[in-house]
Amino acid sequence: MAQRRTVLTSTSTPASARRNGGQILMQQLRIHGARRVFLVPGESYLPCIDAFNEHQGAIEPIVCRQESGAAYMAEAYGKLTGEPGICFVTRGPGATNASIGVHTAFQDSTPMILFIGQVGNGFCEREAFQEIDYRRMFGQMAKWVAQIDRTERIPEYVARAFSVATSGRPGPVVLALPEDTLWGSAEVVDLPRYTRAHSHPGGADLARMAALLEEAERPLMIVGGTGWTSEAMHQLEDFAVRFQVPVGTAWRRLECFDQRSPNAAGHVGWAMTPALRQRVRAADLIIAVGTRLGEATTEGYTVIESPMPRQKLVHVYPDPGELGRVFAPTQAIVADVASFAGALAALAPARPPQRKARVEAAHAEYLASLVPLSAQGPLSLDAVAAIAADQLPHDACITVGAGNYALYPHRYRRYTGPGTSLAPTVGSMGYGLPAAISAKLEQPERTVVCYAGDGCFQMNLQELGVALQYRVGVVVLVFNNGIWGTIRAHQEREFPGRAIALSFTNPDFAALVRSYGGHGEVVECTEDFAAALARACAFADREKLPALVELRYAADGIAPGETLSGILSAALARQQISGAAHGTFAEAVPQPCGVSVAVTDPVNDRADARR
């Protein structure tokens, strides 16, 4: 039986009346600042569900339709707020479904806590109904995995979970909740709200970095990671202006820098422009702030080589374990992005820099990349993305899942700061819609638009039920071409002319969203898109329900400036075989607006864009 704790400290709160484990846990979540919990209900944690009754108006339960959707929503909440996103799922199947959100939070460095129901302690190690050892299951995809075996220790474990999830490199924590822990009762003190630990750069660190910058002719800053605030972003921009340094955003961290800034150089990573790629390669100093400089940002560790970069590298990161792990930096600085940005205010150039022309040229190249590239067919994805970029408010939140369709909003949208982009760096499909719902719940006055491939959307389209239930007015743009386009591109590259097992039959997405009480329409021509988007946004704002625009197309453009036919031709040339000997690239079918063109397979949803 649990023993009553009688020793209080100056930081603890008075002992409460006897409560069950679910009541203790929910009270701790409230103390630590949780305002919203994403869940799929399960009998394995019923005491926690019951305890919501005691926190109505303080903690909002969001009942999701599938655990992956719930986990994605919690992860998006963590990205938006910097506080751990909270998710509850049941044991076994619930945990396995939710694991994709944990993996996303780990690779995206997002604070998150996943609570999982568990069999009672008396049944452990018998392979009881739905039993899994979560320490083994989540060991490599979470910062900390534990099981709370005693009711009276719930406050201790929860407080530690919040601290671990937000300290150093943020990430997910997984806590298993045995049934006897939740149904058991105890008299315990409620621990105070956690305090996040910050890491600050030292004066010597800043002086050395300033000296390296003083010597550099072609410096480039790359920003990314988590923890950015509007204030920190402005402080870093001021530094870049003073020292005349162009700034690029790391892969899928587009929200980390205001791209309207004259120092903005563009999106660094897969599918970056040739001009920006050359700037990264030719830089004599890279200042990487908050980003791990992963495979995607460095294009397979080629533009910045591992383990020894050609460029001098100043690597600023909150976790010392990351510094020197993949790259040997010229200088390593242990600091979180907000603390580092705040410290930059004290720095000033020893003499006026002479790099203004380089900054202006980098920004001019970035602006040139915003001009829509030409594309064949009645519906141009380049033009559609550019229209949406101009038409949506500058602070709109854009969410994506994974696939080449995401390259269009990545290229043509100028992101303006924290909260304007939610994109999984892990390349996880099905993320866009749950993330959009989470964003709209958190910031209901902000326009939220989800870009989704037809395959990506169908991985979590059931969460439209959440948008209906909670009156969440998100807008969804579905890129419908009926195939897994990114994989088709790889297939044509590696096995040209032998495309197979990549197509599927789609429902009428516009009709589907109407069944959820929303607005849906189909666009098949570029000239119809602007008005359709305006109608969708107006409906979502007015009715507080989802609106969807289905983009039907079959175009050769697999990505901005790249075609599947070009990929195929190059592959055939490499193999020195003719297209006739191995089949044709496409078949003719009726196209939107009465035009007949060759079916190609541009847009898909698996972010395997390594080549």
Q: Which runs of consecutive H residues, i.e. helices, occur in 345-380?
A: 356-369
Q: What are the residues facing 61 on neighbouring strands?
A: 37
The CATH superfamily of 203-369 is: TPP-binding domain (3.40.50.1220)
**pLDDT value, residue 555:** 54
pLDDT at 281 over 50: yes
Which amino acid, residue 216?
A
- State residue 201's pLDDT score: 97
Residue type, 314: V
Q: Are 75 and 122 in contact (CB under 8 A)?
A: no
- Quote the percentage of the chain above a pLDDT of 90: 80
- What sign results for the dihedral spanned by CA atoms 374, 378, 380, 383? positive
pLDDT at 597 over 80: no
User: CA dihedral defined by 157, 162, 164, 166, rounded to 10 degrees?
Assistant: 180
Give the mean pLDDT of 322-329.
97
Output the CA angle 104-105-107, nearest 5 degrees.
Answer: 65
pLDDT band with cut points at 50, 70 and 90 for residue 5: very low
pLDDT tier at 405, thresholds 50, 70, 90: very high
- CATH for 381-598 is 3.40.50.970
Average pLDDT over residues 367-395: 95
Angle at 239 between CA 236 and CA 241, to 5 degrees: 115
Beta-sheet pairing, 19-20 with 185-186? antiparallel
How far is 400 from 326, CA to CA, in rounded Å? 28
* DSSP of 510-571: HHHHHHTT-EEEEE-SGGGHHHHHHHHHHHHHHH-S-EEEEEE---SEEETTEEHHHHHHHH
Q: Torsion angle of alpha carbons 422, 32, 40, 168, nearest 10°?
A: 50
- Higher confidence at residue 485 or residue 409? 409
Which residues touch 515 (CB under 8 Å, ≥6 apart)? none
Range with the poorest average pLDDT among 12-21, 428-437, 449-458, 560-569: 12-21
Question: Which residue in the block uniquely carries the two structure tokens 């005349």?
Answer: 244
Helix, strand, coil percentages, rounded to 5, for the chain: 40, 15, 45
Per-residue pLDDT of 211-239, as tens digits, reads 999 999 999 999 999 999 999 999 999 99
Q: Average pLDDT, whole number, for the chain?
A: 90
From 451, 518, 421, select the one nearest 223 (Cα to Cα).
421
Question: Average pLDDT, stretch 469-498?
Answer: 91
Inter-residue long-range contacts of 562-565, CB under 8 Å, 24+ positions, other chains counted: 563/600, 564/485, 564/488, 564/489, 564/492, 564/600, 564/601, 564/602, 565/598, 565/600
Residue 407, classed as helix, strand or coil, is: helix
On the question of pLDDT at 467 being above 90, the answer is yes
Cis peptide before 262 (omega within 30 of 0): no
Q: Over 80: is that where the pLDDT of 199 sits?
A: yes
**Helices 432-442, 67-81: crossing angle, 10 deg rounding:** 50
Q: What phi, psi does 332 have (nearest 5°)?
A: -110, 130
Mean pLDDT of the 45-63 span: 97
Average pLDDT, integer, range 15-43: 94
How many Cα atoms occupy the beta-carbon half-sphere of 509 within 13 Å?
29
pLDDT at 482: 87
Q: What does the pLDDT read at residue 382?
A: 95
Looking at the chain, the whole-number percentage of residues with pLDDT higher than 70 is: 91
- pLDDT on residue 127: 75
Q: How far apart are CA 356 and CA 340, in angstroms?
A: 24
The pLDDT confidence band at residue 183, using thresholds 50, 70 and 90, is: very high
Specify the range with the lowest mean pLDDT, choosing from 40-49, 169-178, 389-398, 578-587: 578-587
| Token digits of residue 399 | 């969410």
CATH label, 19-186, candidates 2.70.98.50, 2.102.10.10, 3.20.20.70, 3.40.50.970: 3.40.50.970
Which residue's structure tokens are 């022309």?
357
Q: Report the predicted TM-score, pTM, of the whole model to 2 decimal places.
A: 0.91
Mean pLDDT lowest among 109-113, 400-404, 554-558: 554-558
Kindly give the residue spans of alpha helices, DSSP state H, lying in 93-170: 93-107, 134-137, 154-166
Residue 582 — pLDDT band, cuts 50, 70, 90?
very low
Name the token pair of 82: 């910097």
Alpha carbons 235 and 258: distance in angstroms, whole number: 12
Q: At what angle do helices 381-391 and 529-543 cross, to 10 degrees?
A: 40
Domain ranges of the chain: 19-186, 203-369, 381-598
Q: Identify the pLDDT of residue 490.
A: 86
